[in-house]
Amino acid sequence: MRIFCIANQKGGVGKTTTTVNLAAGLAQIGHRVLLVDLDPQGNATMGSGIDKRALEATVYDVLLGGAGIAEARQPSPHGGYHVLGANRELAGAEVELVPLEQRERRLKNALADVSADYDFVLIDCPPSLSLLTLNGLCSAHGVIVPMQCEYFALEGLSDLVNTIKQVHANLNRELEIIGLLRVMFDPRITLQQQVSDQLKAHFGDKVFDTVIPRNVRLAEAPSYGQPGVTFDPASRGAQAFVAFAREMAARLGSKPAAAAAA
């Protein structure tokens, strides 16, 4: 089981879109996937087709020890993966976690119980550095950073890179940046092309080959409670995410469980 955080320090850069569609893409090519929503906004939960207001148990209960992941998880109706959902209640966990033992490792410990059930766990982390984000980063083998190729993109990464370095040094020696994913890319904008070149010059292999284009179908899909990958499989956005899932799996040398068993 490989565990990844999807994180960026800015809102509105396609973090949740990336989490939901990578989960659906990995599921589509045969992997067993759990999506963990660590953002109290619950957008990844809703975007997976699960009503966040109707959840009996959420990641909040798991963090505070009131439920195990096996009880709290739900299948995404269209996505082909499981979801450990979140809603507003999760905002309270920030305070309630403080007095608990191993407060940064609650999620990691809970994930250990389901390690045989999944090939991939994808964690949608909120942008601010908080105990919730720390729980994500302490659980993970790596971080996937979706980013727009905007002017100042490189400078905008410095806080996140520092956070990852600190967590690596103090809490989780395994943690590394797995890669930067260029999202909402518009090749007609020359400046985006230039920033994309800068990113490759600066981060080299850490920049994923796959580029996710700006695509209206990806933007519409959450309103229908579906990942773009299943909402409109023929769209350019959906196809890019499936290609990204293949690239991820290939980078990690991971084969679908079904194929490995055969």
Partner 1 sequence: MALPATLLSRVEDAGLNASAPPAQWWIDGWLVRVLPGKARRARCVNALMAGVLPLDERLAAAEAACARTGVPLIFRITPFTQPAGLPAELQARGFEPVDPTLVLVAPERPATPPPAVPAHLRLEPLDGQAFAEAVGALRGSPPEHRRSHALRLAHSPAPYRGLALRRADDGAVLACGQVATEPPFAGLYDIVTHPEARNQGLARLLCEHLLLLGASLGGSTAYLQVDAANAPALAVYRRLGFVDGYGYQYLERPGA
Q: Interface with partner 1 by CB under 8 A: which residues?
A: 9-12, 127, 148-152, 155-156, 186, 189-192, 195, 214
Q: How far is the CB of 95 from partner 1 (least distance, A)?
A: 19
Residue number with CB closer to partner 1 (53 or 188): 188
SS3 of the chain: the string is CEEEEECCCCCCCCHHHHHHHHHHHHHHCCCCEEEEECCCCCHHHHHCCCCHHHCCCCHHHHHCCCCCHHHHCEECCCCCCEEECCCCCHHHHHHHCCCCCCCCCHHHHHHHCCCCCCCEEEEECCCCCCHHHHHHHHHCCEEEEEECCCCCHHHHCHHHHHHHHHHHHHCCCCCEEEEEEEEEECCCCHHHHHHHHHHHHHHHHHEEEEEEECCHHHHHHHHHCCCHHHHCCCCHHHHHHHHHHHHHHHHCCCCCHHHHHC
Residue number with CB closer to partner 1 (11 or 92): 11
| Terminal-residue alpha carbon distance, the chain | 18
Q: How far is the CB of 228 from partner 1 (least distance, A)?
A: 19
Residue number with CB closer to partner 1 (55 or 160): 160
Q: How far is the CB of 156 from partner 1 (least distance, A)?
A: 5
Q: How far is the CB of 240 from partner 1 (least distance, A)?
A: 18
Q: How far is the CB of 166 from partner 1 (least distance, A)?
A: 18
Q: How far is the CB of 169 from partner 1 (least distance, A)?
A: 23
Residue number with CB closer to partner 1 (112 or 191): 191
Residue number with CB closer to partner 1 (102 or 194): 194
Residue number with CB closer to partner 1 (152 or 234): 152
Tokens of 82: 């499981």
